[in-house]
Structure 1
Amino acid sequence: MTYRLIGDSCTDLDENLKRDDNVRIVPLTLEIGDYQVIDDNKFNQKDFIKRMAESKIGAKSACPSPEAFKEAMECDVDMVFVVTLSEHLSGSYQSAEIGKKLYEEEHDSKNILVLSSKSASAGQYRLMLELDALCKQGLKFEEISKRIIELRDDMKTYFVLESLDTLRKNGRLSAVKALIASALNIKPIMGAINGVIVKKDQQRGIQKALSRMVELAINEAGENSKDKIVCITHINNEERGESVAKLFRKSNRFKDVKLVNGAGVATMYAGDGGIVLAIG
């Protein structure tokens, strides 16, 4: 069966998926004050990181319009799968759902699944990897939908940030807490429960935090970890991302370990040097 995979631009992809004609990315818009940039293949990560560091106000994102998702669905295929940011982080999921309704008002019925990743970044990448594999197996829409929802619900997401400055500027962390954490070099280890961000632990220093994140992830991967893939997104720090990937590979507990650089939305959320990972 023919298919199309659609992701919003927090769906960080490897080079193979970026080149795949069956894959489309619908970009969010990123804003820092009066400055706006589209999170597409022209996004300049280093320039955006510099602008975030220099700005006294936090960066924010605007989700794609329903019409943008509808346009991505305009194709002669049997089935379409859309993966978005968690609805707790962005309006992208709701926008994609409306886009689906707009499409169905104008066209004969097509099998379309709009899926909130309950995650972001590396989690969306993991779901796209699985969708690509399932579609290439020639499975029916209903079976693919069932399997991808099961994976989404079982998948676990973790992240460690180099700096809490972005959270402070966005009003998600008080200036006092950010100052104390910075002075003590405290790095929180975060996760997600049903798409909602939660704190899992904290360590002094980035290396200890990353090692603890990997330890937590391995411990929580379950007995069937040999069937799971680890997807890691690094933000402008491939060396750090590779060091995390090596820890997972050294554990010999997983089917595969993938590493990609983040696009614009992940860069905005995780900041320079941030690491996001998902296991499923």
Structure 2
Amino acid sequence: MKIVADSSCDLTAELKKELDVTLVPLTIRVGEKNFRDDETLNLDEMMRAIKAHDKAAQSACPSPQDFIDAFGEAKSVFVVTMTAALSGTYNSAMKAKELFQEETENSFVHIFNSKGSSVKETMIAVKLKELIDMKLTESDIVEKTEHYIENMKYIFQLGSLDTMIKNGRVSKLKGMIANVLNIRPILCSSPEGEVELIENVRSEKKSLRRLVELIGEMGDNFEDKILGISHCYASEKAEYLKKEIESRYPFKKVFIVPMAGLSSLYTNEGGITISF
């Protein structure tokens, strides 16, 4: 059984090896320059280019063939993609499934719509590895993982509004006002995988405290759960959150991963995502 995910699934080198997950990269286009979101990506260079360019960077989803190549010779494949509500990656993976099963006898492929991105995908990959190691059947793994996804929580804070201003989701005036007033929006994913505003908080310090409080308001039975944090050039912030979360809630485990290219594009430097 094989786990495949798109490159929004943020991992450390150790976690990637432990989970034995194959990543299928998206491509990020900044002006005339393309950045492939894989192990060759120079993240510093990409972020400098995004900051210097006056128009929004664009991301291109992998082709169906990219996914088929990642499936390799596996007979059972579980694929995790970023939310289908905001990306064509899920549809590309579904087309790959159709083509792969036409050519490969007795093959099994299931595509999971994470209804999120970044560390939420990471958490789903962790759950899949746990279930595969339990020697469960394909149908049981799908059922338990889909149930897990439906009950997950995903909250995040952007490092800045730059990307949202450039792509027109936030007006330049509103963005300027938010920056002047040091307003830090706290966002979440809806049950359908859309981005929703939870609330605006004044100052980063208060927003970090609010992120920790929201975990208690949104979840329960923490003893049976793990929590993941991803960050874009914000390791100190992530470590602070980990410490605060561990002191307040009895999660089985709390881990941190750095963001790769796609997650960094949309959250910007200083961005944080949390999933449990």
Report the TM range for the smaller structure's normalisation: over 0.9
Partners of 1:85 and 1:235 in 2: CA distance:
17
Following superposition of structure 1 onto structure 2, how do residues 122-161 of structure 1 map, counting pairs within 5 Å?
122-161=119-158
Structure 1 runs of 4+ with >2 Å offset: 14-17, 19-22
Q: What is the deviation of 1:22?
A: 3.5
Partners of 2:122 and 2:130 in 1: CA distance:
12
Partners of 2:213 and 2:121 in 1: CA distance:
22
Counterpart contact for 2:222–2:249, Cα < 8 Å: no
Aligned length: 275
Counterpart contact for 1:46–1:236, Cα < 8 Å: no
Q: What is the deviation of 1:210?
A: 1.6
Partners of 2:27 and 2:202 in 1: CA distance:
34
1:202 corresponds, among 175, 200, 203, to 200
Partners of 1:71 and 1:157 in 2: CA distance:
30
Q: Is residue 2:62 matched to residue 1:73?
A: no
Letter in 1 for 2:203: G
Q: What residue ranges of structure 1 are gaps of 5+ in the alignment?
A: none
Partners of 1:197 and 1:113 in 2: CA distance:
25
Which position in structure 2 is the counterpart of 1:236?
233
Partners of 1:181 and 1:270 in 2: CA distance:
16
For the aligned residues, what is the CA RMSD? 1.2
Partners of 1:203 and 1:20 in 2: CA distance:
37
SS of 1:112's partner is strand
Which position in structure 2 is the counterpart of 1:191?
188
TM-score with structure 2 setting the length = 0.96
SS of 1:250's partner is helix
TM-score with structure 1 setting the length = 0.95
Q: Is residue 2:96 matched to residue 1:99?
A: yes
SS of 2:184's partner is strand
SS of 1:187's partner is strand
SS of 1:181's partner is helix
Counterpart contact for 1:162–1:206, Cα < 8 Å: no
Q: What residue ranges of structure 2 are gaps of 5+ in the alignment?
A: none
2:24 corresponds, among 2, 23, 26, to 26
Following superposition of structure 1 onto structure 2, how do residues 1-280 of structure 1 map, counting pairs within 5 Å?
3-20=1-18, 22-77=20-75, 79-194=76-191, 195-222=193-220, 224-279=221-276
Q: What is the deviation of 1:20?
A: 4.6
Letter in 2 for 1:109: N
54 and 135 in structure 1: CA distance in 2 versus 1, 3 angstrom threshold = same
156 and 12 in structure 1: CA distance in 2 versus 1, 3 angstrom threshold = same
